[in-house]
Chains A and B, each alone.
Chain A
Amino acid sequence: MKRRELLAAGTAAAVGSLAMPRLSRAQGARVLRFVPQANLSSLDAIAGTQYVVRNASLLIWDTLFGVDSNLMPKPQMAESYEASEDSKTWTIRLRPGLKFHDNEPVLSRDVIASLNRWMVRDTMGQRIKASLDAMEAVDDRTVRIRLNKPFPKMLFALGKSNAPVAEIMPERIAKTDPFQLIKEFVGSGPMVFKRDEWVPGSAAVFEKFAGYDPRPEVAEWLSGGKRVMFDRIEWLILPDDATKAAALQNGEIDWWENPVPDLVPLLKRNRNVNVDIADPLGNIGSFRINHLHPPFNDPRVRRAVMMALSQEDYMRAVVGDDDALWKGLPSFFTPGTASYTEAGGDILTGPRRFDEAKKLLAEAGYKGETIVLCVATDVQITKAQGDVTADLLQKIGMKVDYQALDWGTVGARRAKKDPPSQGGWHIFHTWHAGADCINPAPYTAFDAGGEKAWFGWPKSDAIQAGIATWYDAPDAAAEKAAMADLNKMAMDFVTYIPTGFFLGYQAWRKNVSGVVKAPFPVFWGVQKT
């Protein structure tokens, strides 16, 4: 063999061997490669409320009830339930044969310990706890919850998808302090977490749980038979959006939870990729105001900003020119849901009233104090909103100190109650998942309980009373009326300013089917050919 032939043969062999991994990857129809919205840094969806953690936890842990796409709770781990006429006593019976991943049976004591941990952290759970007389095991499969006050929303509380989700863990794990992360990830859900294959920040692997017995009903969001068609689901954490897009086009990943708007046109042009709306309940942009310090401790100043604020400006900055992705939102609540209301939301519609806003600011005594605007510039949605806010405030004559920070810093900074000139803040931006804004229960940002409220510490006794009225509402009509009152009160008080409603996309390879629209990735029913 001549030297040139030898080199050619060697090169061919080398190139052939380099190409091998792609061929072997293509054969993995029983493996789903999924890129989540963020790095999965922990798996405790009780101690932490990050959406990505909640989404992963839904694979590992199951719930007594689960909401369907109409947000109606359906029995999940529960075989049956019984509620007393006054909604004070709830008896829940577990399905037979439920097992944890360590093959131990799911017992009433596990349910009680899990609910006890959840009640400390969840707003609905806290309401249950406040009126709890007893939670007792009737037998190994039956739990009774006795309250001293009616709680008609019990099933929704136990089945909602909002974090913290009432997931059932083995008693030994559920006894962990709810403010500390659990160290064992054993659930009874459809997938087992492969702790030995976990490379935090890079990959998390879930393997099908052979002992899982799906319900006979058709799966819908958190309800019905959670039939997973894969042996393995691999969550791959790719830090760079362009790399994610390239990997999806190249078939190296199967499903990307939240492609950034800039790259969506590119993905839509690819014949092997499907792109569609991810979550029909979308998101609500948030202009969060610190109520503790001047000038925003005066509702007139908050209203002045609100009457000049253009939601269109915010939404175009967030999602670009795709009009299908956003709409104006004269409401604090999620559009398209049963109790949606726009009562009192006029201030956010129509032509923006800059002159009136300036007049109101002067009337409130604003004298050019510097407004500290904390912007997480490493998150596109907050950066876009922050830029629009800086412009808006200047237009109405306010002096702005735009502080470009990273999200980690904003997360710590917003907890400071100090005056803005001493390390505190006036405004920061975030957004709320629409699923969390369907009603006041999971909506921590809506609460106006002062010291105990979310960042910004709004205090309005009227709003708190309105929330209590909603909780006590005996039927849908009463709930809707309570929501209308709440929306009007919160608009007048300006708990915070909604900057608009926006949707996001998800993208997946065409050989993957069964992907549905939901507030979280639904893996059951998804298939790959």
Chain B
Amino acid sequence: MLGYLTRRVLATIPVMAIVALFVFSLLYIAPGDPAAIIAGDQATPADVERIRAGLGLDRPFLIRFGEWLWQVVRGDLGVSIFTNLPVTRLIQQRLEPTVSLMILTLILSIVIAVPMGVLAAWNQGTWIDRAIMVLAVFGFSVPVFVVGYLLAYVFALDGFGLGLDWFPVQGYTPLARGFGPWLSNLVLPSVALGGVYIALIARITRATMLEVLSQDYIRTAKAKGVGSRTVLFLHALKNAAVPIVTVIGIGVALLIGGAVVTESVFAIPGLGRLVVDAILRRDYPVIQGVVLLFSFVYVLVNLGVDLLYTVFDPRIRY
């Protein structure tokens, strides 16, 4: 196990190196120029050129890539072209909101979606099953920003005049300032972001449960007079857990993508917005730093999922 873990962690190094090269190359060939944005609309072309030279953006690709890679190897992600602030500081500022949003969404999604999937499978073909699947299709189909606007309209602006203006429209309050304010800012974004995720997990749970529920050992358990809840949650769900955990892991990428939109709609100062702003301004060191971080997190999540398999299925050994 320890050997496997070490190999997997070491395998992240070439993965990260390839990601680094890919991102850097992509940004190099992408159109746009941070110097033009810094200079502003009043600047002349000569001004822009001088600023570009000052930023070192006129140097050859290999020199710039080599310098940046050497910095990254030393744990330094560089400095934002615009703010002159270290990229690590910018990431630190934005980490808590994004992690909070993702964890809350994850908890909310699992708590809602897994029972929904189990319930649908247990009641296959009934109106309960169909209702749950309709909800799942709805969750898949409606874009995050539409759900976000609707939620804000009803639960922040009290658009229907029902006295439901419980939550703020936008913003983020750090956990250090209290659990209530923290949660207050995250409820609507988590529900909005969780829609797709709930739908995905609910559908996979249902499908996997249906497969497991048709197995002989389930029939045997029922024949032995084991209670429905025990059959469902102890026998069936545990055996259906591996694909569900896999989907939850894959869904983290979905969450990262969704967080970009959700953070924009609810003005949460997270990593998603940081990277979007950086892309719009061509703030290369910030884009590179955040994409590297996202890649690293994704690799780690996959590793975590692989390790979780051994918990749910003792037959799996590394």
> Which chain A residues have a beta carbon within 8 Å of chain B's beta carbons?
14-15, 17-22, 39, 41-42, 47-51, 53, 121, 162-164, 177, 179-181, 183, 198-203, 236-240, 242-243, 246-247, 249-250, 252, 378, 405-409, 411-415, 417, 430, 432, 436, 442, 444, 452-455, 457
Contacts and interface: CB of A to CB of B under 8 A. Distances in A.
Contacts of B178: 17, 20
Nearest to A457: B45
A415 B33 contact: yes
A17 B170 contact: no
Interface stretch (B192-200, B226-234, B263-271): B263-271
Nearest to B82: A41
Interface string B21-39: 0000000000111001111
Interface of B: 31-33, 36-51, 53-55, 80, 82-85, 90, 93-94, 149, 152-153, 156-157, 165-171, 173, 178-181, 183-185, 187, 264-267, 269, 273-274, 276-277, 280-283
Given A240-B265, A250-B157, A201 B41 contact: no
A48 B173 CA distance: 32
Main secondary structure of the interface of B (DSSP, over half): helix
B45 A455 contact: yes
A162 B42 CA distance: 9
B42 A163 contact: yes
Contacts of A121: 43, 47
9 contacts: A41-B82, A41-B277, A48-B38, A50-B40, A180-B51, A180-B55, A252-B169, A411-B36, A417-B45
Given A21-B181, A246-B169, 13 more contacts: A18-B184, A19-B166, A42-B38, A47-B39, A50-B40, A236-B267, A237-B267, A239-B276, A243-B170, A246-B157, A247-B170, A406-B280, A409-B31
B167 A413 contact: no
Contacts of B277: 39, 41, 200-201, 239
B90 A200 contact: yes
A357 B181 CA distance: 63
A250 B276 CA distance: 26
Contacts, number: 184
Contact of A411 (B32, B50, B54, B166): B32
B32 A412 contact: yes
Contacts of A21: 168, 173, 180-181, 184-185
B40 A48 contact: yes
Nearest to B177: A21
Contacts of A415: 33, 36, 45, 48-49
Given A21-B184, A201-B273, A247-B170, A179 B266 contact: no
Contacts of B171: 236, 252
Contact of B32 (A243, A249, A409): A409
Contacts of A179: 47, 50-51, 53-54
A452 B46 contact: yes
Nearest to A417: B45
B39 A202 contact: no
Contacts of A201: 269, 273-274, 277
Of B38, B55, B277, which is in contact with the most chain A CB atoms at under 10 Å from its CB? Answer: B38
A179 B80 CA distance: 16
Contacts of B42: 49, 162-164, 436, 442, 444
B43 A243 contact: no
Contact of A453 (B41, B44, B281): B44
B63 to A, nearest CB: 19
The 9 closest A-B pairs by CB, nearest first: A17-B180, A49-B40, A412-B33, A202-B269, A49-B42, A411-B36, A50-B40, A408-B32, A41-B82
B266 A47 contact: no
Contact of B83 (A41, A51, A177, A378): A41
A41 B179 CA distance: 31
Contacts of A22: 168
B229 to A, nearest CB: 20
Contacts of A240: 264-265, 267
A183 B50 contact: no
Contacts of A198: 83, 85
Given A180-B54, A415-B48, A436-B42, A15 B166 contact: yes
B31 A246 contact: no
A201 B173 CA distance: 16
